[in-house]
Structure 1
């Protein structure tokens, strides 16, 4: 560093802080990518893909799938967890005067 921190102006310190934060984020992103690559390589040496071992996509993100609580009486393959937006078949049944209890699994 060419200039001592004590001699920097507020604007220079804030700019330097942004540079440091960006460098930290880049460092963490690279460490995660390196760790993921190492885990994939370990899985490969054992004859598996990472996806096979963890049962899904290896993106680092997980989504919790809820358990279905309601089923369409006309088509039981259509289900709904009761969370999020109501499917069209639920809206139609409610508009027809049915209650959610009649569609409970």
Structure 2
């Protein structure tokens, strides 16, 4: 193994050569591990009287992933009520009641009198 000080003392060319060697060694190790895994899988399949091809056929195709549906923005509901004191303030009749609506109802205004007529 290399000590940190040894690595710091190396030139960039030496480090690049070391990196290339490490990458080749890593690639070889992965290929070796894959071969060993295939051999182990073949032995395990043989214990059941099957081959790796038999197992591959049984598993069938992988399930298709569901496509994400694009979310469509909902259209805002049309206003159903208006504030008699300020016609620019409206409410759809859904959700929390606005303060102006609650105040009008508390002071005796009939909600139907504030309804926007179509």
- TM norm structure 1: 0.49
Instruction: Pick the structure with greater CA Rg.
Output: 2
